[in-house]
Copies of this chain bind each other. A is one copy, B any other.
Amino acid sequence: MAKPQSSYLVCLAFSLVFNLLLISKLYVGREWELSWSRRAAEEAEYVAAISCSGHGRAYLDGLTLDGKEPVCECNSCYGGPHCSEFLTGCAANADSGDPYFLEPFWMQHASKSALVVAGWHRMSYTFADQSYISAELERHIRKLHAIVGNAVTGGKYIVFGAGSTQLLNAAVHALSSHNSSSSSSPASVVASIPYYNLYQMQTEFFRSTDYVFRGDASLLQNISDATNVIEFVTSPNNPDGQLNKANVQGPNAKAIYDRVYYWPHFTAIPTPANDDIMIFSISKLTGHAGSRFGWAVVKDESVFQKMTMYTLINSMGISRDAQLRALKVLNVVLEGGGKDIFEFGYNTLRKRWEKLSNILSVSNRFSLQKFAPKYCTFFKKTRGPSPAYAWVKCEREEDKDCYAVLQEEANVYGRRGSHFGAEDRFVRLTLLRSQDDFDLLLQRLNQLVLEESHRNAILSTI
């Protein structure tokens, strides 16, 4: 009888050990048992798990199929229920600045960047201090600038806006509004060609009595000395990536520095910017263009007050949901001193720029803007260019419309030079979109350039 007894004992021992294991798995070291957030978390993970073949993604608020499952939203030139079909002949999108190049970073940091919003989160118009801005978020922003070394914020004020977009006009308003002298002539708003089109569109659209768009800074000689001049300076510039400085000097000249590209993704950071008005946004920093969150760093208190008033009268401050999202993503950026995201962004854009440059270097028909290598105080090394956009010039005399050349001959669409106040001999190609979009752009340009060399080779033999 000894044998069965000992085998029982062995079984019992195994079973008991197994029990202990199960108990420890169930209860020991287990995390917080979720209650009200579980349903939403499951829903989000379910949607995120929908397969879109790596060429798209499904969203919580996407259109639903039969009122049930959100459908995949595919990258341009991909289709089908799971984005698995390449749409042959589809035009390569190199137009908008949609910053999808950072999407893989956030997918890699899914856990840290996820956000749970309670139904009762921040229902009030104001924060506890009666302000319209999150003090925690402002603290994060100041810390970020200190770590990156791209802007001096000490002793300066911070205004939040619905992306840089709202802040650009808020700044024009603040610099042009008069306390009493309503009889004085409107301020002249200028920018150097090539410039971001929105400056002109906005300034003209709102038809204010306080300001008028006067176009290129070189036309300033026609403006009387007494007129106030407000100059938009984009640095690095959109479209050409140059670290521009204000052209207009003098007692009546004020500059609004659009610094949305002044991050280590896009440029070496030679020194912290210390302009009177500097505008930033998460669109180009973290890639969350859809959140519509930006901020201005402002030196002068009265300009700060006027810009803040603008955002209040315009939209009663910035969505608390956008502020919460910005806080969450900036928190991830700050982890590890910002190295992760800036290295990811820089490496991605650097590679893209190199590939594009290599292809176009074979061609005599197209040229690209030039950059000198620069020392970056953030990366602590001299680094090559990694701009947000390629500013392409068609060099042939007859190629006056470079946009049309690329569209007709390469099936690629960029953004016209005239959109930036420049000649249509130029076209802007974005490097910020998804890898799919960039790969297709590259493939199409490569083909065009190869055909050119091929034709040249044939011509040289006859």
Distance from A407 Cβ to chain B, minimum over Cβ atoms (Å): 18
B15, B122, B123, B173: which contacts A16 (Cβ < 8 A)?
A: B15
CA distance A74 to B124 in the complex (A): 12
> Given the interface contacts A110-B36, A202-B313, A325-B117, does A123 sit within 8 Å of B26 by beta carbon?
no
CA distance A9 to B4 in the complex (A): 10
CA distance A231 to B165 in the complex (A): 29
Most-contacted residue by chain B among A127, A201, A319 (CB, 10 A): A319
> Given the interface contacts A22-B26, A125-B96, A208-B207, does A116 sit within 8 Å of B114 by beta carbon?
yes
Contact, CB under 8 Å: A116 / B37: yes
* A57 contacts across to B, CB distance below 8 A: 120
Distance from A17 Cβ to chain B, minimum over Cβ atoms (Å): 10
B11, B290, B323: which contacts A124 (Cβ < 8 A)?
A: B290
Q: Does A128 lie at the interface of the complex (its beta carbon under 8 Å from any beta carbon of B)?
A: yes
Interface digits, A305-348 against B, CB 8 Å rule (1 contact, 0 not)? 00001100111111111111101110010000000000000000
Among A27-35, A214-222, A396-404, the stretch in contact with B: A27-35
CA distance A114 to B38 in the complex (A): 9
> Which chain B residue lies CB-closest to A17?
B15
Each complex incorporates copies of this chain amounting to 2
Q: Does A12 lie at the interface of the complex (its beta carbon under 8 Å from any beta carbon of B)?
A: yes
Contact, CB under 8 Å: A64 / B120: no
Q: Does A48 lie at the interface of the complex (its beta carbon under 8 Å from any beta carbon of B)?
A: yes
* A135 contacts across to B, CB distance below 8 A: 63
Q: Does A183 lie at the interface of the complex (its beta carbon under 8 Å from any beta carbon of B)?
A: no
B41, B122, B134: which contacts A34 (Cβ < 8 A)?
A: B41
> Which chain B residue lies CB-closest to A292?
B319
Among A99-107, A258-266, A269-277, A368-376, the stretch in contact with B: A99-107
Residues of A within 8 A of B (CB): 1, 4-5, 8-9, 11-12, 15-16, 18-19, 22-23, 25-26, 31-32, 34-46, 48, 57, 59-64, 73-74, 96-100, 102-103, 106-107, 109-128, 134-137, 161-163, 165-166, 169, 173, 177, 198, 201-202, 205-210, 283, 287-293, 309-310, 313-325, 327-329, 332
